[in-house]
Amino acid sequence: MFQPPPFRADHVGSLLRPAALLDLRRRAARGEATPAALAAAENEAIAAAVKLQERVGLKLATDGEFRRRSYHSYFYAQLGDVAPDVIPAGDASAKGRGAQPQAVINSKLRWTHPIHVEDFRLLAALTRATPKITIPGPCALHFRGGDAAVTAHAYDDVEEFWNDTVAAFRAELQALAAAGCTYVQIDETAFAKFGDPDVQAALAARGDDWSRLIDTYIDATNRVLRDLPVSLRIGMHLCRGNRGGTWHAEGSYDAVAERLFNRLAIPFYLLEYDSPRAGDFTPLRHVPPDKRIVLGLVSTKTSALEDKGALKRRLDAASRHVDLARLSVSPQCGFASVAEGNPVTPQAQEAKLRLIVDLAREVWGTN
């Protein structure tokens, strides 16, 4: 029987890149390897990643985001001379809170060609599992720079920026649906960060009211999602930063929960919930009965394997706010939101993916 996403055992998307692929990418950047050789190595690594996901029993498969420098940089680079992830000088990315990346917008945004359609087609050819395509959220650029970044070089009118952003994302989603894609995940980290007092203060310092931004971002995202093909299931992943084992924010979902779950036209959410930085499960009381939640209970920031019994107790706690029938499990984020990856071994990565599959089978009788 067909099971639409999300699956009882899901995962956020990115996987650890093989060391040989990272080395070849560095050589290609220096002109020591051809683009064709790099593409062939990427295809080989993606095929191995698909086999990994099949081996642990997942019903979905991603390409591990192996062609990307970061989870969002590749997508935005196809829209113009823009970058969502410029790291401020002096950020050593030490364990703990890392510096929030900043956006640079040097041109207007234009969708000129499908960005991930070929990635979907490769996955569809490699596996019988459901291909899952991950794209960044439409609010990432603005969140990391505000109106000042929008108008610094490319735009005089911020509303034009939002119109261009919405048009670009809609075009890509429509192209994916036309190609047969049925599962897309939007990675929109901003919503999970609004509950952090330090983030609120930083936004205020640049002239932004953080609560008003929530409404702006919900409205922009809903414009992207309006009247898309019904065959396309779109979920949203939220986290507080995931770069080399570091994080960018902390705080519960309380600040956004009621609007996020009720006003945003998203049928399911993949929520970071692996540490006390995410708060408790009480914000889930705002989830309406027609929506589902994927609980990111397993950390991708460390190789330590979680205890299955403890995860079951956390599921039980969450089910006091959202019925167990509408819950799923996943890692809290990807294993490599940037190409260098988190400080996790490949063996631990596989063990953690297998753990969520085993947990789902024991709790729901299916993965």
| CATH code assigned at 345 | 3.20.20.210
d(CA 267, CA 288): 10
DSSP class of residue 338 equals B
Please report the pLDDT score of residue 93 as a whole number.
Answer: 47
- Which residue, among 185, 191, 227, has the nearest Cα to 5 in the 3D structure? 185
Helices 346-364 & 308-318, crossing angle to 10 degrees?
50
Helical H segments across 57-181, by residue range: 73-77, 117-126, 140-143, 146-152, 158-179
What predicted TM-score, i.e. pTM, was given to this entire model?
0.93
Please report the pLDDT score of residue 94 as a whole number.
Answer: 45
Tens digits of residue pLDDT in 303-355: 999 999 999 999 999 999 999 999 999 999 999 988 888 899 999 999 999 99
Domain-located, residue 1: no
Domain-located, residue 124: yes
Domain that holds residue 152: 19-364
| Strand spans (E) along 209-290 | 233-238, 268-272
Please report the pLDDT score of residue 182 as a whole number.
Answer: 97
Domain-located, residue 2: no
pLDDT-flagged residues of the chain (< 50): 1, 91-94
Domain-located, residue 322: yes
Domain-located, residue 327: yes
Phi, psi of 268 (to 5 degrees): -155, 155
Domain-located, residue 170: yes
Phi-psi region of 90 (alpha: psi -120 to 50; beta: other; left: phi over 0): left
Please report the pLDDT score of residue 339 as a whole number.
Answer: 83
Please report the pLDDT score of residue 1 as a whole number.
Answer: 47
Please report the pLDDT score of residue 8 as a whole number.
Answer: 98
Domain-located, residue 328: yes
Phi, psi of 186 (to 5 degrees): -95, 125
Quote the number of domains for the chain: 1
- DSSP-assigned letters across all residues of 42-59: HHHHHHHHHHHHHHHT-S
In sequence order, what are the beta bridge partners of 331?
298
Please report the pLDDT score of residue 180 as a whole number.
Answer: 98
- DSSP-assigned letters across all residues of 172-201: HHHHHHHHT--EEEEE--HHHHTT-HHHHH
